[in-house]
């Protein structure tokens, strides 16, 4: 990911966090709910992408050994995304149970990282 894009994303995240800090509990609850829904959508998109990616690797492999090696490489990426999704779900749970700005900011940051990773992989536009 390029530096300018990361800085823009970080600035946008800062604006969102500042806005959320000024909001009452209702806006906080909506933010948590929206983040949970977006994370669910990202997880389902990745599941679909992952299935196609593995099928494409197998179909394009010239032999079993090459296919197995390419699948192993892909599965390392798959594991990374699964861990990021799990971390985001944990951050949503913390933000839902601990009423402070830090937990909300951590949740937003985790969701942003998942989005960036899935975009980098081509799993989402």
Q: What residues does each domain of the chain span?
A: 3-121
81-93 pLDDT, tens digit each: 999 999 999 999 9
Distance CA 122, CA 104 (A): 27
Lowest mean pLDDT across 5-14, 23-32, 91-100: 5-14
Residue 3 pLDDT > 60: no
> In the chain, pLDDT over 70 holds for what percent of residues?
80
pLDDT at position 1 is 46
Q: Do the beta carbons of residue 81 and residue 121 sit within 8 Å?
A: yes
Report for 31-35, 59-63, 112-116: range of highest mean pLDDT: 59-63
Q: Kindly state the DSSP code that residue 1 receives in the 8-state scheme.
A: -
Angle at 72 between CA 110 and CA 50, to 5 degrees: 50
pLDDT at position 10 is 58
Distance CA 39, CA 1 (A): 20
Tokens of 50: 């992952």
Mean pLDDT of 101-112: 90
89 or 12, greater pLDDT: 89
Distance CA 42, CA 92 (A): 14
Model-level pTM? 0.73
Identify the H or E element spanning 27.
helix 25-60
């Amino acid at each position: 990911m390029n530096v300018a894009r990361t800085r823009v994303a970080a600035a946008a995240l800062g604006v969102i966090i500042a806005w959320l800090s000024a909001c009452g509990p209702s806006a906080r609850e909506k933010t948590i709910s929206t983040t949970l829904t977006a994370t669910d959508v990202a997880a389902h998109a990745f599941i679909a992408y992952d299935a196609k990616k593995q099928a494409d690797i197998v179909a394009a492999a010239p032999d079993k050994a090459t296919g197995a090696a390419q699948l192993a490489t892909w599965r390392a990426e798959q594991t990374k995304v699964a861990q990021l999704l799990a971390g985001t779900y944990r951050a949503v749970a913390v933000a839902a149970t601990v009423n402070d700005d830090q937990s909300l900011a951590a949740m937003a940051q985790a969701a942003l990282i998942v989005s960036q990773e899935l975009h980098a992989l081509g799993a989402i536009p």
